[in-house]
Amino acid sequence: MEIGEKLFSLRQKTGESLQQVADKVGVSKAHVWELEKGRSRNPSFDLVRKLAEHYRVGIDVLTGDAPEPSSDDLQIERMHRGLEKLSERDRAIVEQMIESMKMNRSGHP
């Protein structure tokens, strides 16, 4: 799979628009579209690094040397990334909520 196909797949899995990705990595919407369509075949290393960081994958995923994460894995990573901005108290609350949800789902008190 080409880098453009990987970028398109990752964007679809995250539910982002071309504009959202472009804004996050600092390029134009048209440039992201050209990358996804394979019309811009030699992105700079800096841009590839920014895209990998944005999607929270390694560069090796974009180059096809590592498997692409699932939608669930990407969602979990997005949630995890948001936790670092919370206070210690708020993280503890989120952790308690998760534990409560897991217990409710498994049927154990």
Q: pLDDT tens digit string along 5-60?
A: 999 999 999 999 999 999 999 999 999 999 999 998 788 999 999 999 999 899 99
**Amino acid letter at 27?**
V
Concatenated DSSP letters for 49-87?
A: HHHHHHHT--HHHHTTSSPPPPHHHHHHHHHHHHHTTS-
CB atoms within 10 A of CB 2: 15
Cβ atoms of 55 and 81 within 8 Å: the answer is no
For the stretch 82-104, pLDDT in tens is 788 899 999 999 999 989 998 88
Q: Inform me whether the pLDDT recorded for 109 exceeds 60.
A: no
Spell out the domains of the chain, with CATH numbers in brackets.
3-62 (1.10.260.40), 71-106 (no CATH)
pTM, full prediction: 0.71
